[in-house]
Amino acid sequence: MLVGPGDDAGVYLLPGNHAIVETVDIITPVVNNPFEFGAISTANSLSDVYAMGGKPLTALALVGFSSCDFGPKVIAEILKGAVDMLNKAGVSLLGGHSFENPEIRFGLSVTGIINKDKILRKSGAIPGNVIIITKPLGIGVITTALKGRRLKDKDIRTAVKWMLTLNDKASEAALKADASSATDVTGFGLLGHASNMLAGTDVNFIIEPKAIPVIDKTRAMIASGMIPEGAYNNLKFFEGEVEYPRGFSEDEKLLLADPQTSGGLLITLAADRLDVFRKMAVPCTVIGRVEKGKGKIRVI
Ligand code: CO
Ligand code: CO
């Protein structure tokens, strides 16, 4: 075992020096359209393999639903969306399993290959590195607003577009640019995943909130109370790990803790390798830097 529980995915060394990377994730619907939900959940499940620098090859589908509430038509649409996204990623669906559940749940167990000498681990950031993010924040708030009927399907197209964007190119760019560490921003929000990258390290992350890209309407939705419960839980969870500037509002904190579905990669790399990353034409924004420290986040 080269990487065990605690990172985005596990890595196991096979005879012959090949290494496999494995992960599983399963989520509840974030959009109304079942085809899109299947595709989003698939991009989300594949993301942990990309966050390790691996290439996904095969997948097994897991679907939970209540057979009284949903017919085979809805499930078939979810699976069609999943297969569509797997085709885009060049991944073969080998099978799966369904189970009775009061609420719809869908996700995949994914296996890929990885170069054992080029694993993008969670920790490894080096003082002087820059911190970049490849997708904007706000997905949790926007999908909460959809569930709360404050936004309609047509209002959330930008969020859907980002959730449907695979992290494959971002992963490739991170490897090319010799990233020192990487993870994907999902349920724990930007600050939660940043704090995971810092656990047990002797570096700090300096985060510039004004530099962080945010999906349109996110701040308005937060102001009107459309805040996922997970954002509150996240904030409480890493309370002592983060230092905020004076007068930093609760709304801004909640945005930095917003749980993402199929969020972007959070990557640290040498500042002089940034142009190598940018040449790969993957959207990316520098949101801070790494300095010597004690595993804390300083929001400035
Ligand atoms: Co992850
Ligand atoms: Co995960």
* pLDDT tens, N- to C-terminus, the chain (300 residues): 999 999 999 999 998 888 999 999 999 999 999 999 999 999 999 999 999 999 999 999 999 999 888 778 999 999 999 999 999 999 999 999 999 999 999 999 999 999 999 999 999 999 999 999 999 999 999 999 999 999 999 999 999 999 999 999 999 999 999 999 999 999 999 999 999 999 999 999 999 999 999 999 999 999 999 999 999 999 999 988 999 999 999 999 999 999 999 999 999 999 999 999 999 999 999 999 999 999 999 999
Ligand 2 centroid from CA 282, angstroms: 22
Ligand 1 centroid from CA 231, angstroms: 17
Q: What is the pLDDT of residue 56?
A: 98
d(CA 38, CA 85): 8
Ligand 2 centroid from CA 245, angstroms: 30
Q: What is the pLDDT of residue 129?
A: 98
d(CA 141, CA 37): 17
Written as six digits, the tokens of 80 are 């069609």
Q: What is the pLDDT of residue 225?
A: 96
C-alpha 32, offset from chain centre:
21
Ligand 1 centroid from CA 265, angstroms: 9
With a CB cutoff of 8 Å and minimum separation 6, the contacts of 266 are 131, 132, 133, 182, 183, 184, 185, 190, 193, 194, 197
Ligand 2 centroid from CA 79, angstroms: 20
Ligand 2 centroid from CA 120, angstroms: 15
Strand pairing class (105-114; 55-65): antiparallel
Is residue 98 within 8 A of residue 17, CB to CB? The reply is: no
Ligand 2 centroid from CA 153, angstroms: 26
Is residue 99 within 8 A of residue 66, CB to CB? The reply is: no
With a CB cutoff of 8 Å and minimum separation 6, the contacts of 165 are 43, 135, 262
Ligand 2 centroid from CA 265, angstroms: 12
Written as six digits, the tokens of 69 are 């509430």
How many Cα atoms within 13 Å fall on the side-chain side of residue 24?
A: 9
Q: What is the pLDDT of residue 283?
A: 95
Q: What is the pLDDT of residue 71?
A: 76
Q: What is the pLDDT of residue 67?
A: 83
| Residue with tokens 């909460």, as numbered in its chain | 144
d(CA 262, CA 51): 11
SS3 annotation, 243-267: ECCCCCCHHHHHHHCCCCCCCCEEE
d(CA 52, CA 39): 21
| Identity of the residue numbered 252 | E
Query: Residue 24: nearest ligand to its CA?
Result: 2
For 20, the enclosing helix (H) or strand (E) is strand 19-27
For 177, the 3-state DSSP assignment is coil
Angle at 191 between CA 148 and CA 161, to 5 degrees: 50
**What is the DSSP-derived secondary structure letter of residue 210?**
G
Q: What is the pLDDT of residue 188?
A: 97
Query: Residue 167: nearest ligand to its CA?
Result: 1
- Cα distance from N-terminal residue to C-terminal residue, the chain: 39
